[in-house]
Structure 1
């Protein structure tokens, strides 16, 4: 059970392995909201939507975020706020800029440095490198004891062990040769591999999969 003094009030989960980013973010949210109704205690925002310059949707989203951060949770003792595409939130080059980007950056800079007692934050991003993020925001998360976790697959990476373990979870025993063949056919993106393993498990669950079965 998480405590109110959990050290990771701020979490940043990022990388191009989007399946692992999503699963990790969901796990962190579930841990922090254990025993609580997520309809009341979870709010989700997207930086890309908030930074739209056409129409009122971006402005309204930022207003909604600021209100969420400034008000106490209703019908629960804590709330998690998730923000996707966190890498898009950057400090404006022009100090006189009064745009939505400035409002969003300054609000998050203050929140990360001094998060409200009843709020937890989970940021996600497909960005692969530290340099892809706002340096002040990334540094504040790191120096403030926040959790930063990266899931990156490079072009030459081969997730054999992950495929075998995932297959076992789905009742699909795989040999190293079969895992290698599946990766050669599908590629190394874990989301694509997971979809293929799910399809195989529907037809072959509990059976040992041979190379001939997937060719």
Structure 2
């Protein structure tokens, strides 16, 4: 059996993968290979190996080889390369590796192998991209296995996903609460699933998650709302920033926590500006700083509104405000109002 799991929704693909593992009789006969690192011959030998003390063997190929320089997405593999990959030998009798194949050669050789695979083997190929309808692996899966395509939901489909995910956690979620999660977290499904699990545990089985509970309990939503505050400040829209600040305070957000989060965000802006000046993009910045991709993208948009000196001055001002609040020298609301009025000055 061959499963092709492809599409940009990596979270759902991996959940489907877990289901396949749970439903099979694999025991200790499970192997995982990185398609970009392991030669095709090794993968095929493993697939041909009969399982030990169980009915089935499970083999996962995580990704495909990277395309070589100059190789087009639709490049056809040469007959010689395909033969070398399938048999493990070239015409000269030397061992062949997938590293010597183009990506197209790897794909074609694997697709041609699928019909000959032992019935005891369950092979899964996991890809974070959607394949075209004419792709040989898609055709092989349609004829000899199963195609599972997962696409990231957007808009109304994302809110529907949140509602359905809440049902699996044995709770309901109010429309406004689902909208809050969708707007502030976006289609980062793994993060959404974690937040829903936390909210469901708090609400209890059979209960309905309210918008108020999302505002109070979801750290991601709170952080995103504070990002809206810094967004307003970056646009020099102090009126909007003050409105957001007072909304957060009326929702019970502790002033010291607000200061701490804003300080952390300004520090992130300083680091993002430095990395952006070195030519890094959002994905690289996200990995380097260990922050969520959507936060890196937002920060990149914000840093263009400030020079380094302004950010450094604001950071020092935040630290001073934090110290003054802890010593009770200023009323919390007044301290935060003054901070916003002078932000970036």
TM-score interval, normalised by the smaller of the two chains = 0.7 to 0.9
Q: Note closer, same or farther for the CA distance 1:113–1:194 as it changes in structure 2 (3 Å cut).
A: same
CA displacement 1:94-130 (0-9 Å, x = unmatched): 6365652438446523321222122121221111342
Offset, 1:12 = 0.8
Structure (1/2) with the larger helix percentage: 2
- Greater Rg over alpha carbons, structure: 2
Distance of 1:125 and 1:161 partners within structure 2: 25
Instruction: Using CA pairs under 8 Å that are at least 6 residues apart, name the structure with larger relative contact order, 1 or 2.
Output: 1
Q: 2:114 aligns with which of 112, 128, 136?
A: 112
Secondary structure of 1:126 counterpart? coil
For 2:37, the equivalent position in structure 1 comes to: 49
Give the TM-score normalised by structure 1: 0.73
Which ranges in structure 2 are unaligned for 5 or more consecutive residues? 68-72, 82-95, 216-345
Distance of 1:169 and 1:151 partners within structure 2: 18
CA displacement 1:46-89 (0-9 Å, x = unmatched): 21232xxxxxxxx4xx4532321232222223212111214859
For 1:205, the equivalent position in structure 2 comes to: 204
Secondary structure of 2:119 counterpart? coil
Aligned residues: 190
Measured on the aligned residues, the alpha-carbon RMSD in Å equals 2.9
Offset, 1:201 = 2.9
Q: Note closer, same or farther for the CA distance 1:158–1:205 as it changes in structure 2 (3 Å cut).
A: same
Matches within 5 A, 1:83-162: 83-86=61-64, 93=76, 95=78, 100-101=98-99, 102=101, 104-105=106-107, 107-130=109-132, 135-142=135-142, 144-153=143-152, 155-156=154-155, 158-162=157-161
For 1:178, the equivalent position in structure 2 comes to: 177
Q: Note closer, same or farther for the CA distance 1:151–1:87 as it changes in structure 2 (3 Å cut).
A: farther
